[in-house]
Structure 1
């Protein structure tokens, strides 16, 4: 075991060393400015005088070139992925076929003679001259670092922003319909009123974003991170949120229709007054979520985690909750008419004032549940267990009774049932 541990530590050190710049290459660059093909990954080259430097094909991935003098430098085919170029002077430099994915281009100086792909000139323009260009339909910005960009009211229909970073950006009222946004990071960005119709946001990072009143239609948000996001008032229809992370997100007054949320994480999410019509929630985590006064009509809740779920005044008309563990859940004032609750565990549940007309409660467990002031008219109570339940003032017109257990239950007239 010890030998294996030492081997793993050695391998990790070797990998770290392989990713670091070679000291002799840094020295060579500083002394001669001749370092074509050198390994300068993650090197600290801040403020270096590199005018006319030969850096063709060099590995400058993650390097810090901030405020450096790179006028006339030869950087063709160099790897500048995730490099910090802020404040650098690249006038007359040759960046032909250079890799600039993730590179920071804030306050970088280019000249008309700087050899640079149009894609990166556009990124530079968007970062340094905000709102100068708003028509960005079908542009290729894949991998671009647009952190802090002002893209308000921009039309990005059909744009390719795959793996781009737009963190802490202003993107309100923007149109991102049919855009490629898979693995794109929008962390803490303002996206209020943005449109994402038919956009691909698979595995995107929307953590802590402001998406209030945004529009999602036929949008792919599978495996997206929407944790802590503000989603109040969104309209989301026919969309895919399977395995999406919505932990602690705010979805109050949102409208979600005919969408897939299989296996999604809604832990502690705020869904008060939301409408989830025809939503597929199989396998979702709803622990601690607040769905008070939400409309969940005809949604599918099979195999979900519901511990601590708040469902006060919720509309669950016609919903299938069969076999679920609903112990201790607050359903007070909820509409459960026509709901399928056979074999459900509703022990100690709060169903005070709930509407359970025409509900199927076959073999359901309502031990110690509070159903006072509720309506069970025309419900199927075959083999239902109401032992020690509170049925005070409950309406029981037209109910189906067969082998129903009322042992020590408080009946509608206030009397205690025998066993």
Structure 2
């Protein structure tokens, strides 16, 4: 459109101003050249053939080259331009790619074992599931690179720039990341076990379920407010009061000895706890919603008031654990979960709607049964002291002689329920539906006995 405008402008000037046509045509040709798109330098066919025959192609132009699955073990590609090249599944073990430009290149599944990528440009490149074991990536730039599922184990990533890189599920074990930039990088589900993080910048990095065990940090390492306590717990343990109320949500806690640790009110939402020894630990008031507890030992642990909603428990030992007022709603009890009969019954009540359940004489003291369906349940002589029955459905339930001292019945449905002889001293009945309820002989919240008139 711009060139058309220029043409009509020149045509006007030729007619009105009398300038020679040849001069104006020369100007038009010059301007046209300025607006022509500059062609991208494609890979040199001659250099491609050279690479194939000799494995030597330093400083070569290989832009956009199709080299997927090609055998390039030990090849010399130092300083080569491989921008946007397809090297998917290429065999590049021991290859020299120092200073090469691989921006936007596809290296998915490529084998770069012991490859030299020092000072290489890999911004926005695709390295999904690539093998980077023992590779040299010192001072390489990998901004916004995709390394999901990649294996840079024992790699040299010293001073590498991995800003905003996707390292989800990447295994970066025993790697040297000294002074590396991992700002806003996604390390979800990956492992940094045994790696050197001295002076590394992990500000705003996603460390959801990232294994930090055995990592080395120093005063120059930048970890956000969540990453610091996770590193502390994983590598130094829960000494004193340092972990009380700590935010460990999404943390990866594997093979840890946390016996008798004080972890009160700790946030462990969606955390991954694998082979963790928590015998006798104090986790009261902690949040474990949607956490995964696999092969965890919680014998004798205090889990009073713990929120386990949506948590996954497999091969977990909870014998002797205190689950008073713990929220077990939607908790997933998998195979081989050792749980005392009282708390297993509580779990069944809050997760399975069964009308007319026979709970005569049951010991449910201190249980969290909030919102449970206990319609027409038989609860005569049951021990329900301190039970949370907020908004529970107890319509037509038989609670004859039940112990409901200090129970929370706020907003509960007790229509047509039988509470004769029940002890409700200190109970909270605010907003409860007491229509047609039988309170004959019951001890009311104020300690006075209800008449039977």
**TM-score in terms of structure 2 length:** 0.47
Compare the two structures and name the one with the higher helix fraction.
2
**TM-score in terms of structure 1 length:** 0.50
